[in-house]
Amino acid sequence: MEENLKRIKELTELLGNAARAYYQEDRELMSNLEYDRLYDELAALEDQTGTVFAGSPTHKVGYEVLSELPKEHHDRPMLSLNKTKEIEDLREWLGTQKGVLSWKMDGLTVVLTYEGGSLTKAVTRGNGEIGEVITGNAKTFINLPLSIPYKGQLILRGEAVITYSDFKKLNAVIGDTEAKYKNPRNLCSGSVRQLNSEITAQRNVRFMAFSLVAADDIDFKNSRTEQFMWLRTLGFETVEFREVDADTIPEAVKGFEAKIEHYDVPSDGLVLAYEDLAYGASLGRTAKFPRDSIAFKWADEKQETTLSYIEWSASRTGLINPIAVFTPVELEGTTVSRASVHNISILEGLELGVGDQITVYKANMIIPQIAENRTRSGVKDIPKSCPVCGGATEIRNVNDVKALYCVNPDCQAKKIKSFALFVSRDALNIDGLSEMTLEKFIAAGFIREFADIFHLERYKEPITEMEGFGEKSYENLETAVKAASHTTLPRLIFGLGIAGIGLANAKMICRHFDYELSAMRAADTEELCAIDGIGQVLAEAWVNYFKNDKNNEILDRLLLELTFEEKPQPEGEQPFMGKTFVITGSLSHFANRKELQERIESLGGKAAGSVSAKTSYLINNNVTSNSSKNKKARELGIPILSEEDFLKLTEEKNNAD
């Protein structure tokens, strides 16, 4: 049975890849004869086992598009687990019983119901009492059986997850740093709760079963392990688990811990449950927790060490960040000797001085941080000169945070970071010019200003002789540079690196001035502040940039190298023309703020960063919260919309038009 299920999975993936290549990429991975032969083999195996996986070419599932996700009460409340960070607590909790230790997955909990061998319902955990029905989305989970050989009613719980490798692939194609997904869990939550299941299908969501709730007329011999093994025979992927007793728990926990660094599925701890199902059920539950299982979280490993010195790292904006360098220590299996301190306010809060005894740890077992400073000798020797160019520095207080800045406009660090922004994906998008390569080109004198990037042919010979650069690398770079010379005005504006002007602001400014660059360069602060989302600080940064003769000369020379796409023309109805939206809080129906912003812009509206009298709507799923943006919106009489409200408004506007 297991071999048949393995073969079904292989064929489903193989035929899916072949169909995608043929229909979407105009290429063939196999002949029609081979495809038909494998298709027949898959159909026969599915018929023999009664198991069909999502994505099977023999059972195409149509995508659903909903106006909102329906809500449903859970038959049995889904409680949180009690937690501990101590292995000894696990041993004491288990006592003389046998247990099952498994990963605690970090995704979105989903309850599945099968009737007559078919998936009939999928509901998210929600608040534990009420969840959202996501059946259409669940049918696109890449490893989920849509049909199973068991024909009775089956209810099970599991975690919808996106692996780290898939998360990295999705993020790799997003150039705008602010638009990148923050972590796999947030991406998974947004993907599972989409209104359009076609979007879910693009995210490679997996389902990992962790608990069987009900299965009619099956004898599991009072064993949780038997339940897991039975679910596997039906084609479900379960969480990795291990049978334990009080004596073997410490070794088992260490075994799981050793896998964390290379484990592809996000997890945030372990779950220990009683192997004896009847015993666990007899314990009942508290008001908050079930008594048949407990969660284990790894305690942050801390090490004491000595602060050697503070390193100062300069950036494109002139900000110079402090980095604590200390005597190397072992943390979570790796050697650590550095931790970012972020700014002077934090540095002073910790009273960090050379020679201090500090404790360090890895936040989420990944990012080195300083936990405490035990000797607190005090901050000394904040540099008066930039570590890169030697120019003067100054301490600025921005939003009540003290930070150090280099004031030399010709600082080499600023140059490298400025060029790195200029060639980044959301700006000119020139592949092949990494920061390291830019540093070499700048040091060699090949690049002094933006326009020089478009004349690297002058230095073809020395470039091809550079270490790591050959004829092919040079040709690829030249191709990328040529492609980048045809761009859009917002991309250029963003690439100039005007302080605070991101791609979204660049688009708004371009639209406001009808893509007339000469008018944009001559704009004053009053004119710029009339653009929603552009406040006094950004307006002054813009005006000061174009007051600088050198900046204008550099831009004039750059413009000789570029051609621009036609300004975008509105497509279809524009029901939000003249309307300005502010987005805040977490999203569920849209993958991220950038996706929602693009929807608003496609309908003629604008997205701004702060609430003002010019704001038409504030979008916040927590409509009743007392956040600063909600308060300001109420004071100004601005409607606060949830995502569902926004979608309804969109529908109403379209119908009205």
* Long-range interactions of 115-120: CB distance < 8 A, separation 24+: 115/153, 116/151, 117/50, 117/147, 117/148, 117/149, 117/150, 117/151, 118/146, 118/147, 119/144, 119/145, 119/146, 119/147
Pick from 183, 129, 151, 166: which is nearest to 50 by CA? 151
Q: Look-up: residue for tokens 């790591």?
A: 468
How far is it, in rounded angstroms, from Cα 508 to Cα 515?
10
Phi/psi region, residue 240 (left: phi>0; alpha: psi -120 to 50; beta: rest), is beta
For 141-168, the DSSP string reads -TT-EEE-S--S-EEEEEEEE--HHHHH
β-sheet bridge partners, residue 325: 309, 338
Specify whether the CB–CB gap between 312 and 383 falls below 8 A.
yes
SS (H, E, C) 59-109: CCCCCCECCCCCEEECCCCCCCCCEECCHHHHHHHHCCCCEEEEEEECCEE
Q: Where are the beta strands (DSSP E) in 505-596?
A: 563-564, 580-583
DSSP-based three-state secondary structure for 197: helix
Is the torsion defined by CA of 513, 516, 517, 519 positive or negative? negative
Specify whether the CB–CB gap between 312 and 387 falls below 8 A.
yes
How far is it, in rounded angstroms, from Cα 61 to Cα 211?
26
How far is it, in rounded angstroms, from Cα 89 to Cα 553?
69
Is the torsion defined by CA of 405, 410, 413, 417 positive or negative? positive
Residue type, 131: G
- Which positions ≥6 away from 322 have C-beta within 8 Å? 310, 311, 312, 313, 340, 341, 342, 343, 344, 347, 404
How far is it, in rounded angstroms, from Cα 277 to Cα 220?
9
Angle at which helices 435-444 and 412-422 cross, to 10°: 120
- What is the tally of helices (H) and strands (E) in the chain? 24, 26
DSSP-based three-state secondary structure for 466: coil
Q: Look-up: residue for tokens 């800045």?
A: 405
Task: Please give the structure tokens belonging to residue 294.
Answer: 């407990």
User: Distance between the two ends of the chain, CA-based, in angstroms?
Assistant: 57
Q: Specify whether 104 is catalytic.
A: yes
DSSP-based three-state secondary structure for 16: helix
How far is it, in rounded angstroms, from Cα 227 to Cα 238?
10
Helix (H) or strand (E) run with residue 319 in it:
strand 319-331
Q: Where are the beta strands (DSSP E) in 420-562?
A: 486-487
Q: Which of 6, 60, 83, 104 is catalytic?
A: 104
How far is it, in rounded angstroms, from Cα 529 to Cα 508?
12
How far is it, in rounded angstroms, from Cα 93 to Cα 90?
5
Q: Would you please indicate which residues are annotated as catalytic (active-site) residues?
A: 104
